[in-house]
Amino acid sequence: MQNDRDQAIGGHPNWKPETLAVAAGRPDRVPDAPLNQPIVPASTYIGGSTTDLVGYGRYGNAGWSALEDTVAALEGGSRALAFASGMAAAAAVLAAVPADATIVIPEHCYLGVAGLADEYRQRHGLTVRTVDIADTAAVLRAADGAELVWIETPANPTMDVADLPAIAAALPAECLLLVDNTFATPLLQQPLTQGADIVLHSATKFLSGHSDALCGILVFGSDTDAELVARAESARKLHGATPGVLEAYLVLRGIRTLPVRLRQAEASAKVLAGLLADHPLVDRVRYPGFGSMLAIDLTDAESADRFIGNLRLWVHATSLGGVESTLERRRRWPSELPSVPPGLVRMSVGVEHVDDLASDLLTALDLARS
């Protein structure tokens, strides 16, 4: 009997993403088998046949495989690789492209990715072009002669949105398209079905959903060059960027509730975006119309800091995608991109009651004005 994992990877025609989030990556359904994939805390494996041999704990783990199969199924991909963090996954991609390659990245993107690209530029000769990913024509101009176009949509932290189908359709065949899908999640956007070659997730965020695990994942499409996938996997092995077995378990457990978490958080985000737009201290609300991430621009850093200091329910923290609502002024970090406005506050809406979230925000904004 074909097991659930094989069915999910095969893209079961009758299973919606909400079902895959629950049903994919399960052990075989045999009597007395566990319902969940058990944690396998093993660094050493018994030797034997070289066929499908794990060999060593840095090369594979049943828990990784269950997680990878589930995310691949959700994204409509053919293969996924889990890493120790989102940054480890990002580094594996850059390690897989030629050292003298030209890549295009968003002018507004996660500061870690911008820093990593700059390091590869300085140490390895990588050519890095930055572009406004919401300007499709500018993206395509920047992609001329490039080996890789790297897109965040919505972008972190400015919430810029790219036209993925238009970009993918116009890119030359030899140029890879990577999409960081951390903010949208595969429930709201499946870049591989829109022409992307690679999807990246900081699984630490929404996929995990409980602020308790570091993990990154790359997902590859069926048409992605097999040699590229092999180079990314080799980077994981050689650089030791492997996920912990507990972390893989926690992320997979988090995915089981992603549909209900995201549904609640997105509904609240839409309400909050409307309320915040009417407050006189808010110069701009940045909300793409979907998902549970938004940002607001206050007049200056001082106003934003006063606002944050008055909050009681929202948590001032740098991460996102958890069940708790978090926010931060991004320019508090010296390494944040200077093009990010000083008064921009990035917000990750959790699953608390929307009335409590709204009351806390509006009260803090009122106090910041006085």
Task: Fill in the amino acid letter for 35.
Answer: L
Q: What are phi and psi of 269, to 5 degrees?
A: -60, -40
Instruction: Give dist(CA 169, CA 187) in Å, integer.
Output: 22
Bridge partner residues of 218 (DSSP): 81, 200
Tokens at residue 113, please? 């990715």
Residue 167 has pLDDT above 80, yes or no: yes
Q: Hey, what's the torsion of the CAs at 166, 258, 108, 93, to 10 degrees?
A: -80
d(CA 1, CA 4) in angstroms, rounded, equals 9
The pLDDT value given to residue 96:
94
Which of 291, 303, 365 shows the shortest CA–CA distance to 331?
303
pLDDT in tens, 303-353: 999 999 999 999 999 999 999 999 999 999 998 888 899 999 999 999 999
* Res 80 pLDDT > 80: yes
What does the pLDDT read at residue 94?
96
| 180 SS3 class | strand
C-alpha to C-alpha distance for 171 and 197, rounded to whole angstroms: 11
Banded pLDDT at 12 (limits 50, 70, 90):
low
Q: What is d(CA 153, CA 163) in angstroms, rounded to the nearest whole number?
A: 9
Residue 202's nearest CA partner among 179, 186, 180 is 180
Q: Please report which confidence band the pLDDT of residue 47 belongs to, taking 50, 70 and 90 as the band edges.
A: confident
Which structural domains are found in the chain, ordered by start?
A: 4-256 (3.40.640.10), 259-369 (3.90.1150.10)
